Amino acid sequence: MVLVFGTTYYAKRPFGWQTANWYYTKAYMGALMSYAIVIYKTYGPPQLNLAFLHRLIVDENVEYLLLAFFWLMMKPMVVTLLPFVVFSLFHVITYTRSTLIPAVFPGVTAEIQRVRQEERSGTVRTGLSAAGRVSKYMGDWSSKYYSPALREVGVWEVAVVGAWIVLGAVTFQTPLLAPPFYFQFLRMRYALSAPTRAAFRRVRGFLDNMLTPPSASASVPGLVTDSYIRVRDFLIKIGDVIMDPAAQQQQQQPQPQR
């Protein structure tokens, strides 16, 4: 909730840049607290062994915790907040529906389960209380929009944040450390997340349509098309290595002479 409200006030910026940056900082501090709590509830106290470290490395919550800390240390970039806001919004909805509402209205959970069973059997005989209707609506809304939101967040992370960071580094608006750090984050997401791989495919399809023949406009310079194809093919090779490093190692090994 700290993240959601902090981002809202930062986006509005009604009190000047200094105050807006304060809200930006609070938003990312909220993200850090949220992910730290989730990680601690999942794994408990830290353990000094490789198995525990490996479990942390492949956990997306740890990846986003590190990314949030990195953005907190950098110059404020509003585009980086959107993925965290979306995740936080669904977390707030889930927590409200599964914890807060049942704490105030203990019978809501059983009430919703009864109505859902009646809906499945096609014999809805009882209605829901106001709290039950709110809880059910939140659950239905979350189930309907969670997956589409993840897909759009993936595209945002790849296309918008990635482009913003590269352009910022080229124009010296962001530290040169930002692109390699963020691309390492995307590399991990590509290896572990199907939505991220789908996002890369969507971005590639859009750019192919805009910049390569026969669908590209005749006004697109050939230099732009050639440069894009080189970068695209390079990234495809990196993706292949990420998904199948063993095959890449076999290709690099010298073939025995006959």
Question: How far apart, in whole angstroms, are the C-alpha atoms of residue 202 and residue 211?
Answer: 14
Please give the pLDDT value at position 251. Answer: 47
pLDDT in tens, the chain (258 residues): 555 555 555 555 554 455 678 888 888 998 999 999 999 999 999 998 999 999 999 999 999 999 999 999 998 898 999 999 999 999 989 999 999 999 999 988 888 888 888 778 777 666 788 899 999 999 999 999 999 999 999 999 999 999 999 999 999 989 899 999 999 999 999 999 999 999 999 999 999 999 999 999 999 999 999 999 999 999 999 999 988 865 445 444 544 443
Domain hosting 144: range is 2-211
Start-to-end CA span in the chain (Å): 67
Establish if 216 belongs to a structural domain.
no
pLDDT at 178: 94
- Overall number of domains in the chain: 1
Distances (CA, A) of 220 to 14, 46, 98, 167, 234: 41, 54, 52, 20, 21
Q: Return the SS3 of 220.
A: coil
**What is the rounded distance in angstroms from the CA atom of residue 74 to the CA atom of residue 65?**
15
Residue 8 lies in a domain: yes
Domain-embedded: residue 250: no
DSSP secondary structure string, 141-157? Answer: HHHHHHHHHHHHHHHII
Per-residue pLDDT tens digits for 171-208: 998 989 999 999 999 999 999 999 999 999 999 999 99
Q: Is residue 51 part of a domain?
A: yes
Amino acid at 135: S
pLDDT at 1: 56
- pLDDT at residue 24, as a whole number: 86
- The torsion defined by the Cα of 16, 17, 18 and 19, in degrees rounded to 10, comes to 60
Answer yes or no: is 225 within a domain.
no
Q: Is residue 169 part of a domain?
A: yes
Residues 117 and 127: their CA atoms lie apart, in Å, by: 13
Identify the three-state secondary structure at position 219: coil
Residue 245 lies in a domain: no
Helix (H) or strand (E) holding 160: none
Give Rg (Cα) of the chain: 23
Q: Within 10 Å of residue 70's Cβ, how many Cβ atoms? A: 16
* pLDDT at residue 180, as a whole number: 95
Helix-helix angle 178-192:60-73, to 10 degrees: 170
pLDDT of residue 256: 42
Residue 223 in domain = no
